[in-house]
Amino acid sequence: MMSNIYFGQLKRSLAIMRKDILIYYLKGPVIIFGILIPLFLFLAFLTGSKNLSTDFLISGLIGMTMLFTATSVSPVITPWESQMNTLERLMTYPISIYTLILGDIMASVIFGALITLVPVIIGLIIGVNIIHPIILIVGIILASLCFSSLGLLMATPPTNAPSNVMMISSLIKFPLVFISGIFIPLESMPFWGKAIASFSPLTYFTDLTRYSLGNGSYYPILLDFAVIVLFTIILFVLAVKIHKKTLPMRI
């Protein structure tokens, strides 16, 4: 009996995921914040960097792409639903808050993982070797879950204006990019920089990405995986708890 209930909720999550993919993937903010901004940041960094290897640059691009794409869909789904008055209809269906959030996260995970394959393919085309492909694949999956959960947490403020949520999202994402070893290797940072970087999940994903491409890692790889999983659990639990309180305020 319980298995049927869980299976039914999973089917509803998959239906929500499909709806999100069909409706939100081609929205303007998703394209701008998810694809164009990390690309322009990378190009700006590329023009100013003369002594960094291609492996280092591509691993940084993979990290930025994952962060921006996985957090471009999930923050805006809830305010858009509220703005279009479809959230109230969803809430009347026999679904739990976990089912609703899980569907949004799965849509974001697919978007983040698929778009992140683009810089991976670019790296292969220009001659970058993936030394540890399994570690890279598992890292992309876990990081997409982590950053999608972060995106759902960004969507918790009870507003129906996507622009408000995108502003909050930008205030969080851009500092993460600059403190996470994307542009400066962790070993070159001062002690206080390393301490700040240790609080960013992007730091650990970028670290294992560089290891996958043969650059070595600053942290032990098992620690990178463990911290990403820990961040995912914390962010998901926080997103669920806060959404439980704020979703009624949107209706």
In the chain, where are the structural domains located? 2-250
Per-residue pLDDT tens over the stretch 14-59: 667 776 666 666 665 566 665 666 666 666 666 656 566 777 888 8
Longest Cα–Cα distance of the chain, Å, equals: 62
Tell me the C-alpha distance between 215 and 195, whole Å.
21
Q: Is the pLDDT of residue 89 over 70?
A: no
Residue 6 to residue 11: CA distance in whole angstroms: 9
Instruction: Quote the pLDDT of residue 72.
Output: 77
What pLDDT is attached to residue 217? 84
Return the closest-CA partner of residue 152 out of 230, 76, 206, 207: 76
pLDDT (tens digit per residue) in 184-237:
888 888 888 888 988 999 999 999 999 998 888 889 999 999 999 999 999 988
Distance CA 95, CA 101 (A): 10
Residue 143 is predicted with a pLDDT of 93
pLDDT for 233 equals 93
Query: If we measure between CA atoms, which residue out of 87, 88, 115, 98 comes closest to residue 20?
Result: 87
What is the secondary structure of 12-51 as a DSSP string?
A: HHHHHHHHHHHHHTT-HHHHIIIIIHHHHHHHHHHHH-SS
Find the length of the chain.
251
Report the pLDDT value the prediction gives residue 70, as an integer from 0 to 100.
82
- pLDDT at residue 146 in the model: 92
Give residue 221's identity as a one-letter amino acid code. I
Instruction: List C-alpha distances in Å: 225 to 25, 94, 231.
Output: 28, 35, 10
Average pLDDT over residues 1-9: 57
Cα–Cα separations (whole angstroms), residue 206 to 30, 185, 224: 22, 10, 9
Tell me which of 135 and 13 has the higher pLDDT.
135
Identify the DSSP state of 86: -
pLDDT of 5 strictly over 60? no
Q: Give the closest residue to 132 by CA, choosing from 67, 68, 55, 187.
A: 55
Across the chain, the runs of DSSP E, i.e. the strands, are none
pLDDT at 75 over 70: yes
Q: How many helices (H) and strands (E) does the chain have?
A: 11, 0
Q: Work out the average pLDDT over 67-79.
A: 78
Question: Tens of pLDDT along 118-164?
Answer: 888 888 888 888 889 899 999 999 999 999 889 888 878 777 776 77
Contacts of 201 (CB under 8 A, 6+ apart): 143, 146, 147, 150, 227, 228, 231, 232
pLDDT of the residue at 223: 94
Q: Which segments of the chain does DSSP mark as H helices, in order?
A: 2-24, 28-31, 37-48, 54-83, 87-92, 97-125, 133-154, 162-179, 191-197, 201-212, 221-250
pLDDT band, residue 93 (cuts 50/70/90): low
Q: What is the pLDDT of residue 249?
A: 63
The single-letter code of the amino acid at 235 is: L
The answer to whether residues 211 and 135 touch, using CB atoms and an 8 Å cutoff, is yes
Question: 105 CB contacts (<8 Å, ≥6 apart)?
Answer: 74, 145, 148, 149, 152, 236
